[in-house]
Amino acid sequence: MAKTYTLPPLPYAYNALEPHISEQIMKLHHDKHHQAYVNGANAALDKLEKARAGAMQIDLKGTLRDLSFNIDGHKLHSIFWPNMAAPGKGGGSPGGKLADRMTADFGGVDKFKAQFSDAAKAVEGSGWALLCYDGEINSLVMTQVEKQNFMELAELPILLGLDVWEHAYYLQYWNDRAKYVEAWWNVVNWSDVDGRLSKVVK
């Protein structure tokens, strides 16, 4: 039997991020969209296992593409949820090692936030803005991901991700992605981001 992925619970209540991200969006986003990625990844794994056993013929290229898309969606969302915290616990600006790295690599926290916001707003279609760490050059690096097939980032640990698929904001912000991005800074969980950095930079 193929091993399976499971949907992680939210680390807070559905309404914890209000007024910046509504309870309605969180329920739909977590329970429907993230669950769909988990289901899609498990379905692709099952197809691959049955094909290896000779029990069915599959479109291998399409199945592997589905697997990549759905695993990436699952992994990104599993970072996205703890990257946020309720107002009062989230928001503001980072301190300590994370702030020091942003100053060294981006010229300051405010410059990082401005450029990251621009990256998120400018994603073409659906996708993500990501902050990663590249040990090869010992630097924080920023990137955009269109949709979520992004195997070229396989070796870069993701520290912070902002989902700009429409399902992440449309029910509350309609087509005003920029307003959503600016509101999102009020719930960024810098402690979680700093913890992820500490795991990869000793």
* Residues 112 and 184 placed together within one structural domain of the fold: yes
Residue 130: predicted pLDDT? 96
* Residues 101 and 74 placed together within one structural domain of the fold: no
Residue of 121, 30, 124 whose CA lies nearest to 77: 30
Task: Report the share of the chain in percent with pLDDT over 70.
Answer: 97
Statement: residue 151 has pLDDT above 60: no
* Residues 59 and 152 placed together within one structural domain of the fold: no
CATH of the domain at 191: 3.55.40.20
Chain segment 41-53, per-residue pLDDT in tens: 999 999 999 999 9
Whether residue 180 is contained in a domain is answered as yes
Residue 146 tokens read as 């269109």
Q: Which residues span the domain enclosing 171?
A: 96-200
Whether residue 154 is contained in a domain is answered as yes
* Residues 73 and 133 placed together within one structural domain of the fold: no
Chain segment 70-98, per-residue pLDDT in tens: 999 999 999 999 999 999 999 999 999 99
* Residues 105 and 174 placed together within one structural domain of the fold: yes
Residue 147: predicted pLDDT? 86
Tally of CA atoms within 13 A in the half-sphere of 30 that contains its CB: 21
**Reported pTM:** 0.95
Domain count, the chain: 2
Statement: residue 153 has pLDDT above 70: no
C-alpha 94/C-alpha 107 separation (Å) is 14
* Residues 36 and 131 placed together within one structural domain of the fold: no
Whether residue 136 is contained in a domain is answered as yes
CA 178 to chain centre: 17
* Residues 45 and 109 placed together within one structural domain of the fold: no
* Residues 59 and 133 placed together within one structural domain of the fold: no
Whether residue 8 is contained in a domain is answered as no
Whether residue 16 is contained in a domain is answered as no
Chain segment 5-23, per-residue pLDDT in tens: 999 999 999 999 999 999 9
CATH of the domain at 35: 1.10.287.990
* Residues 107 and 38 placed together within one structural domain of the fold: no
For the stretch 59-82, what's the b/e string if a residue is b when 16 or more beta carbons lie within 10 angstroms of its beta carbon? Answer: eeeebeebbbbbbbbbbbbbbbbb
* Residues 142 and 76 placed together within one structural domain of the fold: no
Whether residue 123 is contained in a domain is answered as yes
